[in-house]
Amino acid sequence: MAKIFVSGVAGFLGSHLAEALIKEGHKVVGCDNLIGGYIDNVPEGVDFHQVDCKYLNTMKELLNGVDIVYHCACTAYEGLSVFSPHLVCENTYQISVTMITAAIHNKVKRFVYCSSMARYGAQPTLPFTEDMEPKPQDPYGISKLAAEKVLKNLAETHGMEYVIAVPHNIIGPRQKYDDPYRNVASIMINLMLQGKQPIIYGDGQQKRCFSFVQDDIDCLIKLGFQDNVAGEIINIGPDEEFVTIKELAETLSDLLNFDLKPRYFPDRPREVKLATCSADKARRLLGYKTKTTLKEGLKQMIDYIKERKTRPFRYTFALEIINEKTPETWKNKLF
């Protein structure tokens, strides 16, 4: 049994991970400042602290005696990051440096960092493989990559094991669905269940590969424990079922029996059109296997949102840059 710290434990990924770790018999301590996520996501049994990761001294105290850190806390807002860079970079890059520092201070054995496929940016070929030179296209991706580099640097300097997880396009219950800035599938379901048409930016031909959260959790857990993954960067998620955003809307409308007439808006600046990751390395090192189809995953999300009831979207973040490039949907709170 290990003592494990999960930052962002009220979030989507952090809460599922913490729940699975507790089921395996580990002691889990976690924190979240609730800027994203939901307080009722925090699984029973977590020693939960409602606190911001930016407070170094508090993090040093909370990480006392911890064996493994899973750093999931982040404002994971890729599209918003060109309009609210201060918020996104602080809660992507700066808090990561804080967590890494606190971990090294406490002689934590291994630090698992949740990066993002945004680190790859726009690549000439698909799918993205871990050996590609990262070319992030926006402040979110740049911050993720910068945090990875600081982690590698400090971990190598001070002798801490680290692993970089690159999860991508995860869907499933507990994902925030009243947030207008991210989580496309959740936004579409929340809108359609309210009888409202989904929003599509650009022509809807953006290509993605969604992964169901439970399929990723086993791999994430292994990243904390397996010897052969120390120092590795590993994509976590499937590479079998590519869909466009338009096809995602069509699949959801079939599942919901909804008369689909999407509302189209101009492209969002710097959105990467084709973004899919190879799962070869995860298959090889972690035995990754896709178990849940996109349709099945979406059904579970629909059930989750129906049970909790639809919600109005909450425009809680200040747009730091408002100009002619800022999407109208956000500037004028159109959904």
Ligand X SMILES: NC(=O)c1ccc[n+]([C@@H]2O[C@H](COP(=O)([O-])OP(=O)(O)OC[C@H]3O[C@@H](n4cnc5c(N)ncnc54)[C@H](O)[C@@H]3O)[C@@H](O)[C@H]2O)c1
Please, are residues 120 and 134 in contact by the beta-carbon 8 Å criterion?
Answer: yes
Stretch that binds ligand X, among 3-11, 148-156, 259-267, 297-305 (CB under 6 A): 3-11
Q: Does 275 bind ligand X (CB under 6 A)?
A: no
Q: Does 72 bind ligand X (CB under 6 A)?
A: yes
CA 71 to chain centre: 11
Nearer to ligand X, 106 or 197 (CB): 106
Nearer to ligand X, 197 or 245 (CB): 245
Q: Does 75 bind ligand X (CB under 6 A)?
A: yes
Stretch that binds ligand X, among 73-81, 192-200, 242-250, 322-330 (CB under 6 A): 73-81
Nearer to ligand X, 9 or 191 (CB): 9
In this structure, the number of other CB atoms found within 10 A of the CB of residue 128 comes to 23
74 vs 91: CA distance, rounded Å:
5
Within residues 155-184, the interface with ligand X by CB under 6 A covers 167-170, 176
- The conformation of residue 35, written as its DSSP 8-state character, comes to S
Nearest-10 Cα torsion for 56, 58, 62, 65: 60
Within residues 28-47, the interface with ligand X by CB under 6 A covers 31-37
First to last CA, the chain: 46
The least distance separating ligand X from the CB of residue 335, rounded to whole angstroms, comes to 19
The least distance separating ligand X from the CB of residue 70, rounded to whole angstroms, comes to 9
Q: Does 193 bind ligand X (CB under 6 A)?
A: no
Nearest of 11, 6, 2, 4 to residue 174 by alpha carbon: 11
Token pair, residue 286, equals: 């972690």
Q: Does 13 bind ligand X (CB under 6 A)?
A: yes
56 conformational bin, left if phi > 0, alpha if psi -120 to 50, beta if neither: alpha
Q: Does 142 bind ligand X (CB under 6 A)?
A: no
Q: Which of 5, 14, 221, 238 binds ligand X (CB under 6 A)?
A: 14
Tell me the residue number closest to ligand X, measured at CB: 11
The least distance separating ligand X from the CB of residue 264, rounded to whole angstroms, comes to 24
Could you tell me where the DSSP H helices lie in the chain?
A: 12-23, 56-62, 85-89, 95-105, 139-158, 184-193, 213-225, 245-256, 280-286, 294-308, 328-331
Q: Does 217 bind ligand X (CB under 6 A)?
A: no
Which positions touch ligand X (CB under 6 A)? 8, 10-14, 31-37, 52-54, 72-76, 91, 95, 114, 116, 167-170, 176
